[in-house]
Structure 1
């Protein structure tokens, strides 16, 4: 079976039997031309005052947008993620009410940092439903001053406290941005789905350090003990680097949040995450958006392929990196990792735009995306 998403019909998914042709829809429009980021794009105007969350984001390098998703819907997403774990691969034995069942044999592979990177989870129904939430999209529209955005196909975090079967989550302070490409380039985000207090793990940021990024990297240019990175768009802070930040009064803040809160941070802001230490797990979905106009047509081709093949990306919405690390169980490829979600996600018209496909200038109408489910 193939599912065709018809951009001309919001919320439509059309079953197409294998071997059958898809009839083109004459009402489909030409590829869209994105509106570039406007004059109110973050950091475009020195001394700008917005009177909302953007002021904190400018000053501190991070912010919590309270209630970006209404609490009732956020709780429902958290419940869906918990149900996903209890029913994973038909049910492997995990029970939310029994802490003794929190172990690798009963769960998808979850890293020591809480990341679930395989199993098609980047395209699960709850993941896409969250990405399409108006409160999230609206926040990023304000940051970039354009309605034409694309979204990352990023991971989810399902971290449980006190797991003896995973290695310690040691601090890994880093920036997700190439030091040789200064300035504001990317805004990262996550949606928190469970109560997240002091002992519940989560995001920790170095407040205000984004404004020192260029000075820092000039001071550490040519450092001999630079931490290895698999991509140029990542920089790890050594003990010397951490001391440099401390000497300039930079303070590390553990960010607390309620279900439905959106956490945003400038990619130049040093950050990492902490594992839960109390009795509650940490659930969140990583959501990053950027202007379509800041992606090349080559980026959109790559992103289109990732969407059609249900592959994940990093936090970069332009699909700078597609695919993830191998998902291993007992040293072997996890047999439960088919790379596909439980069901093909249903996208609204707004959601489909977030894939970038309608903006691809080489695509002839109608904008059908074919997702093979068998």
Structure 2
């Protein structure tokens, strides 16, 4: 693993530099425009959305949360309690209640400036987008009842040992060193192949799963720590797009102090690469307003309908069906390029 240190941000139009040599002959994303993805596994693309747009999306996110009428008020800190919010996971990951298909979530993923970033990665504007979750993390009191522990994982199957997917977080507020944000294990993506090549004995009896998810044990994490990998919290401003290689071990940190986190998860891949049955499943997910995991092509169904509600009164879908622009219909896969 390289011992060089690289900056954690890049700008549109950066010139390609040294590229990590990757194994595998499968089609892979072209990250020449964002060379840090090949050097360190993550980067921050600055000012993809304007601060004005970011502020408006934050307002709409809080409108949505207040609309559940559970007692949460954005201007009353005393109401910032898990019991005053619809069900979420971890510090503020909302992948239930049809959150993936709220109008504001669709409007974010339809922003041409975000699409343009992924168009550079895949050398095409003909993309499909994930029906992914949103994140609103509030700094709860220390005795609040919610999942506080870290949850290191990768969003790539151990069977895919090559550059396969670039994930994204559209960051809508300022996140600093103590705020809720993405944490990445620096150096872990470079060790991805070596880890699985030397840990065949850790595979379950039926073999590694095709599902794009791997959750290391504490012992397996120690293997990465022993090779110099260290945790880094990604700092970003409103309108910045955080990108990372899916082989990078990561998790979402909880909000601390007085700062909130508002973000959406965005991931795009070429429409031409989807299998016909997966395209039909995408159309079904749109028809029924079901969410999906990160990869727009090899996805799992997520959300209240797919997983089943936690309570009898859980909202399964948005109150209003989102209205898609012509561009969004192409991104959804319900119309063809």
Bigger radius of gyration, 1 or 2? 1
CA contact (8 A) 1:110 1:158 kept: no
Alignment map for 1:141-220 (pairs within 5 Å): 141-163=119-141, 164-220=143-199
Q: Using the alignment, how far apart are the partners of 2:217 and 2:317 within structure 1?
A: 38
**Aligned CA-pair RMSD:** 2.7
Q: How far apart are 1:57 and its partner, in Å?
A: 1.2
Q: Which residue does 2:104 correspond to in 1?
A: 126
From 343, 357, 364, the counterpart of 2:320: 343
Q: Which residue does 1:267 correspond to in 2?
A: 246
Q: Which residue does 2:289 correspond to in 1?
A: 310
Q: Which residue does 1:250 correspond to in 2?
A: 229
Q: Using the alignment, how far apart are the partners of 1:119 and 1:168 within structure 2?
A: 19
CA contact (8 A) 2:110 2:327 kept: yes
Whether 1:355 aligns to 2:332 is yes
Q: How far apart are 1:87 and its partner, in Å?
A: 2.4
Q: Which residue does 2:4 correspond to in 1?
A: none
Secondary structure, aligned partner of 1:264: strand
Q: Using the alignment, how far apart are the partners of 1:117 and 1:230 within structure 2?
A: 22
Secondary structure, aligned partner of 1:158: strand
Whether 1:233 aligns to 2:212 is yes
Q: Which ranges of 4 or more aligned residues in structure 1 deviate by more than 4 Å? A: 42-46, 228-231
CA contact (8 A) 2:186 2:232 kept: yes
Greater alpha carbon shift after TM alignment, 92-101 vs 260-269: 92-101
From 80, 86, 93, the counterpart of 2:71: 93
From 127, 132, 135, the counterpart of 2:113: 135
Q: Deviations over 1:82-103 (max 9, x none)?
A: 1211222xx3321112222122
Secondary structure, aligned partner of 1:136: helix
Q: How far apart are 1:271 and its partner, in Å?
A: 0.5
Q: Deviations over 1:285-316 (max 9, x none)?
A: 11111111221011100001101111111112
Secondary structure, aligned partner of 1:100: helix
CA contact (8 A) 2:88 2:96 kept: no
Q: TM-score, with normalisation over the residues of structure 1?
A: 0.76
Q: TM-score, with normalisation over the residues of structure 2?
A: 0.84
Q: How far apart are 1:121 and its partner, in Å?
A: 1.3
Query: Structure 1 336/67 Cα, relative in aligned 2: closer, same or farther at 3 Å?
Result: same
Whether 1:62 aligns to 2:42 is yes
Q: Which residue does 2:15 correspond to in 1?
A: none
Which segments of 5 or more consecutive residues in structure 1 lack a partner in the other structure? 1-39, 361-374
Query: Structure 1 295/49 Cα, relative in aligned 2: closer, same or farther at 3 Å?
Result: closer
From 90, 95, 98, the counterpart of 1:112: 90
CA contact (8 A) 2:31 2:37 kept: no
CA contact (8 A) 1:110 1:159 kept: no
Bigger relative contact order, structure 1 or 2 (CA pairs below 8 A, ≥6 apart): 1
